[in-house]
Structure 1
């Protein structure tokens, strides 16, 4: 199926279980409880985007939130794309569509964390920042040793912006 036949929309409470199943299929993403996914689809729906195919199946999702201390920032928590849709630019299209939506609500900066070994996520965000024409910087937010007792890689913070007034690039 082509990503051109995918519809983007704001998630609803009916997406919680489907989101949980999508993330479970997208290893090595961390799974959360269905309840957590329901909250992502309801309380954080303004900062999330769902992609569904022509059959109405959830094939992509980006969850995010606006940190209370930085309401001008979208923190992208997780990007999930079903294996049937990979390699078609769906993640980039979802991310740019979400950024366009939240920019209209006052968001000026984008943040996410990416582990050093996650080349696909690094490429996705660097491509998005480039297409948006915004600078970025990186720093370790959560250290492998200090925060994960050496059981996980560093989580490197990518912070980009400010977004142009017209993010429709």
Structure 2
């Protein structure tokens, strides 16, 4: 009920209500974005953009469940956009770097041992984006399958199948890394 009251006040220009709302949900959205972007510095910028877009969409927003679900969806979409931009920049940077290498330089890839949580987050980052979201929202933000289904407007069975597939892939990735370490 307090959420609806805050939204009503925000729609009518109450800046104190907006501050209260952002103060309440900012840490949750930032944590989601931070994990999704794997600790990248852009997490703060993306989180701010989430709230800017929310304010822009507020006049046409129709309450369909919790507002936090709507914010998760905006955050997820913005993270996908950021990934695309990063991928493009990485491709350009790696091409420039490769062009600068001479033929006589032997490039060796060093493997650093990371703590279990960093490795897990890295492997979550290698999952397809829909599976990443399910894992992050379920385990790091304690959303139920039903709530995740509401966020993405899909059947609960789809959320469960994404969850199961993601866990299977994570298990295989972690198992493969352990085998590589033992060699």
The normalised TM-score by structure 2 is: 0.30
Whichever of the two has the greater Rg, that structure is 2
Indicate the structure whose relative CO is greater, using CA pairs within 8 Å and at least 6 residues apart: 2
Higher helix share: 2
